[in-house]
Amino acid sequence: MSAKHSEQMRILARNPRAQMLFQATGRFPDVEQPQSPLIDLLERIGPRGRRLIIGVTLSPALGYQCGQLFPTAEALYKWLKPSEWVDPSRYVAKSFKLAGFSRRLETSDLLAVAATYPESLLPREKRADPDEPGPAPG
């Protein structure tokens, strides 16, 4: 069973209205994959790096009309993409997404709105000592 089909079945099991619609029409409920330049960036960073980026404030520079503060980039990622497939009627992050925003984001865009982060996430030319690989996380 695919992840998409699993999410559709979960919606049917928990939503009486969706279940009635399915019985009447035979159509499964709509689901969508959360996608945005910010989600792409966070996936490129990976879970370990996301946990090390602390105090991230969502902003229009990242493609979202919101000033919400997240404790870590990992928490932001979980809010933006709670699962592979989501019920569009319950996907909160979509309502804050800037519709026309499609610019590819770089790590420096995210670090600009973070309170603290490991220096190893900076590009080599912006580190205190470019020859050093950066401080060890932990």
Q: Is residue 129 part of a domain?
A: no
- The 3-state secondary structure of 38-87, one letter per residue: HHHHHHHHCHHHHHHCEEEECCHHHCECCCCEEEEHHHHHHHHCCCCCEC
Q: Is residue 45 domain-shared with residue 113, that is, in the same domain?
A: yes
Q: Is residue 10 domain-shared with residue 41, that is, in the same domain?
A: no
State pTM to two decimals.
Answer: 0.80
Query: Into how many domains does the chain fold?
Result: 2
Q: Which domain holds residue 12?
A: 1-31
pLDDT digits (tens, 9 = 90+) for 57-108: 999 999 999 899 999 999 999 999 999 999 888 889 999 999 999 999 999 9
Q: Is residue 95 domain-shared with residue 27, that is, in the same domain?
A: no
Q: Is residue 45 part of a domain?
A: yes
